[in-house]
Amino acid sequence: MDNYRQIFKRKSFHIFKNTGKLADEDIEKLEIFIQSVEPLDPQIRTKICIVPESETTCRRGAEYCILFYSETKDEYLKNIGYMGEQIDLYLASEDIGALWFGIGKPKNMLLDGLDYVIMLSIAKMSEDKFRKDMFKSKRKPVDEIWIGETMNVAEIVRFAPSACNTQPWMFENTGKELLIYRYKKPGKRGIMPVDKVSYYNKIDMGIFLCMLEICLEHEGILFERALLADASDNSAEKTFIARYRYQI
């Protein structure tokens, strides 16, 4: 699968209409793919399962929901976002529409001792329902989120999905490394409850790092990733969360 190409195709299906039916083969292939997903931190225990939408509080017209569970430890939210975005892009490659659904709840909030984190709601969609021109999507301009040479990366990675389209990221390219920050503009939180901004934005940063690495690899840029603890709460405007040393 060409992950980079799927970035241009994927979209968030806020409501599922005129859906198809996922065949048993589709579900079997998805389950196999889920087993291949790479974590950001392999030391964090996780579990991902597929259930009918009716077994959750999601009512968006989806057929199934992919549930993410994790042990609650440092960087677990970032880890789930990183893993989930790999699945999000795979779904687009199979013409399966998806929505990161933050407010939904499953029947079981605990699974094998792991806490529920978030879900992706999914349904089979016709290919013409996916994005035709990603650049028409509403995103922050490059100069608002990126300092320094863009490396043909900033223009694409800024289209990473985020809760309520908050786009909580900022970069600095020093010429030798990329410094990645989780950024919260003062007074801005969209429609999210104030106590949930940090929670969802940390998931967003994992999604973002997944797409960043796909873009770097597409440009043939070798990198070494160093993650930093993201322990700050809602009060911090800018939190340093990762460093990517690179070679072109």
User: Where do the domains of the chain lie?
Assistant: 3-129, 139-247
What is the rounded CA–CA span in Å between residue 182 and residue 4?
Answer: 23
Instruction: Tell me the pTM.
Output: 0.95
Confidence (pLDDT) at 191: 59
With beta carbons less than 8 A apart as the criterion, state whether 74 and 82 touch.
Answer: no
Given a cut of 80, whether residue 229 has pLDDT beyond it is: yes
- Run of H or E including 216: helix 197-218
Helices 24-36/76-93 angle, 10° precision: 140
Given a cut of 90, whether residue 61 has pLDDT beyond it is: yes
Given a cut of 60, whether residue 188 has pLDDT beyond it is: no
Confidence (pLDDT) at 1: 76
- CATH number, span 3-129: 3.40.109.10
Confidence (pLDDT) at 144: 95
Q: What is the mean pLDDT of the chain?
A: 94
Given a cut of 90, whether residue 195 has pLDDT beyond it is: no
pLDDT single digits (tens) 100-139? 999 999 999 999 999 999 999 999 999 999 999 999 998 9
Q: Which CATH class is domain 139-247?
A: alpha beta
What DSSP state is assigned to residue 5? H
Mean pLDDT within 61-72? 98
Domains 3-129 and 139-247 share a fold: yes
Cα–Cα distances (Å) from 237 to 7, 187, 244, 245, in that order, read 28, 10, 21, 24
Please give the residue that has the higher pLDDT: either 125 or 234.
125
Confidence (pLDDT) at 237: 86
Confidence (pLDDT) at 131: 95
Cα–Cα distances (Å) from 39 to 48, 60, 193, 207, in that order, read 12, 28, 28, 11
Confidence (pLDDT) at 194: 74
With beta carbons less than 8 A apart as the criterion, state whether 55 and 107 touch.
Answer: yes
How does residue 248 score in pLDDT terms, banded at 50, 70 and 90?
Answer: confident
